[in-house]
Structure 1
Amino acid sequence: MNKLLFTFLFCFCCASLIFAQSLKISGRITDAQSKAPLEFANIVLTTADTTFVGGATSNINGDFLVENVVPGDYRLVVSSVGYKTSETVLQGVDEVVNLGSLELEENSVLLDEVTVAASNEKSNSDRKIVFPSDKQKKASSNGIELLKQIALPRLQVNALQRTLSVPGGGEVQLRINGIIATNEEVIALLPEDIIKIEYHDNPGLRYGNAAVVLDYITKRKVSGGNVSVDFTNAVNAVWGEDQLSAKVNHKKSEFSLSYRLATRDFYQMWRENKEKFNFGDGKVINRKEVGQPGHLGMYWQNASMQYNYQPDDKTVMNATFRYFGNEQDHFDYYSDLYFTDRPNDILKLTDKTTASTKRPSLDLYFQKTLPANQLLVVNVVGTYIGSKSGRFYQENQNGSLISDIQNNVDGKKYSIIAESIYEKQMKAGTFSAGLKHSQAFSDNTYTNGKRYVTEMRQADTYAYISFKGKLKNLEYNLGIGGTRAWSFQEGDGDGYETYTFNPRLTLQYNFPSNAYLRLQGSVNNNQPSLSELSAVDQRIDSLQIVRGNPLLQPYTSYQVNLSGEARKGIFTANLWSSYEYRPKAIMDEKFVEGNRIINTFDNQKSWQRLSVETTLKVKPLKDLLQVSATGGVNHYLSDGNTYNHEYTNWFYRGDLSFVYKKVMLAFQIQSNWNWFWGENVYGGENYHLLQAKYNMKNCSIGLGVFNPFSDNYKVVNENWSQHATIKKANYINESSRLVMVQFSWNLSFGRKYASAQKKLQNSDSDSGIVTNSK
């Protein structure tokens, strides 16, 4: 009896001692590169034989705590979307344990079936990586709409035309798994198949002069595929954006097809124009153009066929044929032209323009992952651009022709772009080198009473090396490049050959709490376009002529950007500032020649721009409600050979999105983001948009109103020349209170796996044609 009592008391004391030693395990989860804390990381504690013991989720500071742990041996497993899973072995735990900082490495292997409960993002020195949440995907019908839900800084999403842009008109490069992509191919993406979006807001040297690069990383099927349609059409005007897409997968091959048709047919288009011509000999002419309803009729189509073959996880081969066609049947203006000094002397003005563009291209791509963390990429793109345009312009007074202009242009351009890239991943960072060559040939015929034939050649060779690394919280990216630019115009021997040095440096400091500060400097080369080089006279009206300049030379631009971002709870603040200096910039110039004003181009003294904008994004109800507001200013200094101008433009943008279950409501508004170049003010769009959408399993229906609170839509452009001062406003009445109905549907089938990424994007869209419109 005594022995039994002693045994019981001994076991009770041991058990009491064990339970009294209820321990805690804590730590902080951080990004291995930026050292920034990771929110929403999953922490699982198991015994040595993988029996579950407990778990936790890291908070906004990356901290976690696992409680009620008894002494013993354990495995701590940490996982987060987009990172490699980390495992820590804990032996003989018999006291409170603080593991300090546990670093997670980014996972370069694409994820497959992933569901993200809350939108997650992180920033590196060259890109921002965003993992869209499940709610954001369900609120979107395609890859463009998903960007609107994410609200990336500086990226402007036109929900009406489904286009992407950045302030200042810089190039937005699109990719899908690294492969060159068009807007239409991004629209064809199913949000449910998008794993993450890499937003390169600081592209490296190999991207040339691109402002931003967007790379959609998606799932891929080994069998089956999907078919989808996306239609948006107005009910009170002829306005449409319709697309059909299909994709089929079979083992290691993928075939895809997309076709988009956009239509515009408006009968309430007109322009108003105030002009002052100063011929320098005391002769001054003031004119006022008052528009009457005119006709805008046009449509464009985009088609692409793509074949992708991946024999293994180290090789990617891709071939894409693309076709772009634009038919502008009507761009018809009718106006009354008044003279200030002769108010009763009225001219009837007719200005009609037609245009047609056909642009097929073939893109061939090869990527190979080599031993020892090396990568080789080769890309070749060939493009043909066929352009035809015609302009009919008359000024009529009491049945007598004062001016009769008929211009026709028939243009052909052939180009080839070849590029190769080598990358080497090392312990200290990433080394890369690249070589790119572009060659263009144009053959244009101008007919305007006389016949001019221009044959031009233009080439650009670019080579670079760069290295990306980090020193504790400081990330750096240093690149050095060089450009050889060359052109030749047959007939007069005019041309150029120049060599330019193109360095680029990026420094980013990552603060411990979801914040960073980035400084970037770059030197870029800018070539004159083939149209600017063409020495052809084309009449604009009875007083003006446009003329190219074959003596133009390439010029260098210098840019410094300072940006930063901070996130705290439901708030995200982003600041972006930029200073750009372009000596010898190619800008417009006007001078008097007899009784005509000549509009031409020249290498002017300099152009400068200082821009600052700040964005505040708030998610008061997580992914249910999101509000984004942006405000900023542009200040320009344009110093020409014969002029000097200063211009300031204030602007704002706002987005609101509400998603609840299957319903999505959105409001978007923006003011004019104006660009000043030479002596011209190019006005941006000032619009607002209301949208509502209901999402079902495989389809969605929506209703939208463009400019619901505005009587009219207009874009204002100005020219400040001392010889020809112009202020012009273009109106389209149908663009006000334009009611649209949207329908999307998709059928998806088959299993999915992760595909490799393509690294390059090359294309040519410059037709090389001189335009003579007002």
Structure 2
Amino acid sequence: MRRLSAIFLMLCSALCSPVWSQHTIKGVVKNKETQPISGASIIIHLLQDTLNHKGCITDDNGQFIIEKIESGKYSVEISFLGYADYRQELVLDQSLDLGEIILAENNMILNEVVVAASMVKRFADKKEYKLTNIEKKQYSSALLALEHLPKIQVIDHNVNSVDGKAVKILINGIPSTPTDLSVISSENISKLDYYTQPPIQYSNMGLGAVINVITKEKHNGGSVGINTQNAVTTGFGNNAVNFKYNWGNSQLGVTYNINYRNYNKRILDEDISYAVEGTTYQKQKNGKKSPYAYEQQMAEISFNNSKSDNYIFSTKLSFNSLNRRRSSAQDIISTVNDRIFEKIGQSSDKDKYISPVLDMYFSKTFNAKHELTMNLVGTYYKSDYDYQYSELSDGLTDFETATDINLDKYSLIGEAIYNYNMKTAQLYVSSRYMHNNSTQQNLSSNNQTLTNEIYSYIGATGMLGKKINYSVSAGVNGNIFTTIDNKEYKFIYFRPQVKLGYFIDESSDLTFNYEVNTDNPAVSSLTYNPY
């Protein structure tokens, strides 16, 4: 439908005028069978000033209410996929009950297949997907519903793009995790905002995409969600339980998640070849069935308080842990300058960590055009890693090695974003600071590394007419890294980014993207050690 993109954009930003303060409009939206329509979009705006909007969506009973509206002449617009748009002009000088509003169906029936209006809307920086009721029933959770999006795959509670890059998850604009989505019913999804090119604030994170899951309005009362996957014969399980209780503008949530693996058929084959001072060494290692097991757990308590058209506050305390054990046995054929030896290889490694995290998020809207968002995250990470390997020849140890690493690490990340919303464009400026302190306990001295990083950027995104969208931004990344040898390194990156898109038709578009994104490899990407 023609106005759906504008309507759903305003559901997120909740645009309103500061001078509206007097009256209330309410009503009930139904279909021709007088059944309530849940999730229909309601928008009211002044006839003489269409930039001043106020909106909401209908609840499970089809009811809606919009408050704090000043006297004047207004247009009320109601829209829902598969139904014709409804529009009514009225003069408001007191609170008004519109009663029952019946939406007419707007479907084309071809060979008994219902074809509704487009389920995908395009904006300057994203695509908006709205699932039909039939599509929602295909997925057992909001997490699995992400597979509806192109180039997104969900495997074992992990969300990635098809090229293997990580995907940032937001729920109603708040940073979240796949576990949070796994206990939300797909029926509770209002829409999916899909950023195939991550916004500039995420450009230094190596992400493949950003997905913002917009849920339906919450109602007073409690709910329990359970998501369980278990395979008894192979020792496999992903289980999550979530409890939420809503009252007024507040919500309290408790989540517990455990993922485990336990099987005895892990096989590790290796081929090694190298030369030292003219001597050639080759090893062919044929693995035998060996045990592998781990338990990964997460417990979380969250609280959020929000007021439409005004603010969002969310805080979350979580505790994460991992306990993993694995070993391998191998038959080894070792060749040294064409001399052949037979050996037996044995290895075992154990690693575990605990990590509490405190995440605080606040967003405030001023006069519909100004928005300030702040996010503060504190993390502590303690890990222990123990690895042992030996090769035996004729029952005697021929070679052995061991690694033991104990690590304490904490980080603090603070971010502030300012947005200025105009009619066809959005300007934004932001800065993010990160402090990371890591201490390796098994070293006798000089065992600490420090990282201080600040990332600042400015940009604009919007539309040029109805066919072309754009996004232009520039960021500066400053990084100071101090090694365990007390050597200090300083890096400064300049990150320009230009995106252009041309809408060819309803289902096709042409995009151009240019960006400079320099990354230093992290230690964790260069070693098996959990560092």
The alpha-carbon distance between structure 1 residues 388 and 453, as it changes in their structure 2 partners (threshold 3 A), is farther
> For residues 670-689 of structure 1, what are the structure 2 equivalents within 5 Å?
none
Aligned position for 1:537: none
What amino acid does structure 1 have at the position aligned with 2:133? D
**Residue 486 (structure 1) aligned with residue 485 (structure 2):** no
> For residues 547-586 of structure 1, what are the structure 2 equivalents within 5 Å?
none
Counterparts of 1:219 and 1:439, CA distance in 2: 36
SS in 1 for 2:163: coil
> For residues 499-510 of structure 1, what are the structure 2 equivalents within 5 Å?
499-510=492-503
Consecutive unaligned residues in structure 2, runs of 5 or more: 7-30, 32-74, 90-114
Q: Which residue, out of 445, 450, 453, partners 1:457?
A: 450
Aligned position for 1:470: 463
Counterparts of 2:216 and 2:340, CA distance in 1: 69
Over residues 401-460 of structure 1, what are the superposed CA-to-partner deviations in whole Å (9 max), with x where a residue is unaligned? 11122221110111000000000111241101101011100001337xxx5652010111
Aligned position for 2:171: 176
Counterparts of 2:266 and 2:136, CA distance in 1: 38
> For residues 171-210 of structure 1, what are the structure 2 equivalents within 5 Å?
171-208=166-203, 209=205, 210=207
Aligned position for 2:139: 140
Aligned position for 1:304: 300
Superposition deviation, residue 242 in structure 1: 1.2
Q: Which one has more relative contact order, counting CA pairs under 8 Å at least 6 apart? A: 1
More deviation in 221-230 or 251-260? 221-230
Contact 1:119-1:130 at 8 Å conserved across structures = no
Contact 1:184-1:302 at 8 Å conserved across structures = no
Over residues 154-178 of structure 1, what are the superposed CA-to-partner deviations in whole Å (9 max), with x where a residue is unaligned? 11222xx232111333221011111
Counterparts of 1:228 and 1:772, CA distance in 2: 36
Q: Which residue, out of 511, 514, 519, partners 1:526?
A: 519
Aligned position for 1:228: 225
Larger radius of gyration: 1
Over residues 311-355 of structure 1, what are the superposed CA-to-partner deviations in whole Å (9 max), with x where a residue is unaligned? 553111110012211100x21010011024667621111110000
> For residues 293-692 of structure 1, what are the structure 2 equivalents within 5 Å?
293-311=289-307, 313-328=309-324, 330-340=325-335, 345-446=341-442, 454-472=447-465, 473-490=467-484, 492-530=485-523
SS in 2 for 1:324: strand
What amino acid does structure 2 have at the position aligned with 1:480? A
Counterparts of 1:117 and 1:167, CA distance in 2: 29
Contact 2:335-2:341 at 8 Å conserved across structures = no
What amino acid does structure 1 have at the position aligned with 2:284? K
Counterparts of 2:355 and 2:472, CA distance in 1: 37
Superposition deviation, residue 203 in structure 1: 1.6
Counterparts of 2:77 and 2:502, CA distance in 1: 29
More deviation in 481-490 or 376-385? 481-490
**Residue 269 (structure 1) aligned with residue 269 (structure 2):** no
The alpha-carbon distance between structure 1 residues 269 and 193, as it changes in their structure 2 partners (threshold 3 A), is same
Contact 1:456-1:489 at 8 Å conserved across structures = yes
Counterparts of 1:168 and 1:373, CA distance in 2: 37
The alpha-carbon distance between structure 1 residues 530 and 237, as it changes in their structure 2 partners (threshold 3 A), is closer
Consecutive unaligned residues in structure 1, runs of 5 or more: 1-27, 34-51, 53-74, 90-115, 533-587, 589-769
What amino acid does structure 2 have at the position aligned with 1:470? M
Over residues 533-578 of structure 1, what are the superposed CA-to-partner deviations in whole Å (9 max), with x where a residue is unaligned? xxxxxxxxxxxxxxxxxxxxxxxxxxxxxxxxxxxxxxxxxxxxxx
Counterparts of 1:236 and 1:302, CA distance in 2: 24
Superposition deviation, residue 83 in structure 1: 12
Counterparts of 1:772 and 1:508, CA distance in 2: 42
Q: What is the total number of aligned residue pairs between the two structures?
A: 435
Aligned position for 1:23: none
Q: Which residue, out of 162, 171, 192, partners 1:167?
A: 162
Contact 2:385-2:529 at 8 Å conserved across structures = no
The alpha-carbon distance between structure 1 residues 239 and 419, as it changes in their structure 2 partners (threshold 3 A), is same
Scaled by the length of structure 1, the TM-score of the pair is 0.53
SS in 1 for 2:518: strand
The alpha-carbon distance between structure 1 residues 493 and 29, as it changes in their structure 2 partners (threshold 3 A), is closer
Aligned position for 1:36: none
Contact 2:306-2:313 at 8 Å conserved across structures = yes
What's the Cα RMSD here? 2.9
What amino acid does structure 1 have at the position aligned with 2:169? L
Contact 1:456-1:530 at 8 Å conserved across structures = no
The alpha-carbon distance between structure 1 residues 31 and 321, as it changes in their structure 2 partners (threshold 3 A), is closer
> For residues 758-769 of structure 1, what are the structure 2 equivalents within 5 Å?
none
Counterparts of 1:322 and 1:772, CA distance in 2: 24
Scaled by the length of structure 2, the TM-score of the pair is 0.76
SS in 2 for 1:771: coil
What amino acid does structure 1 have at the position aligned with 2:165? G
Counterparts of 1:343 and 1:440, CA distance in 2: 50
What amino acid does structure 2 have at the position aligned with 1:265? N
Aligned position for 2:209: 212
The alpha-carbon distance between structure 1 residues 304 and 354, as it changes in their structure 2 partners (threshold 3 A), is same
Contact 1:265-1:298 at 8 Å conserved across structures = yes
What amino acid does structure 1 have at the position aligned with 2:328? Y
What amino acid does structure 2 have at the position aligned with 1:332? S
What amino acid does structure 1 have at the position aligned with 2:79? S
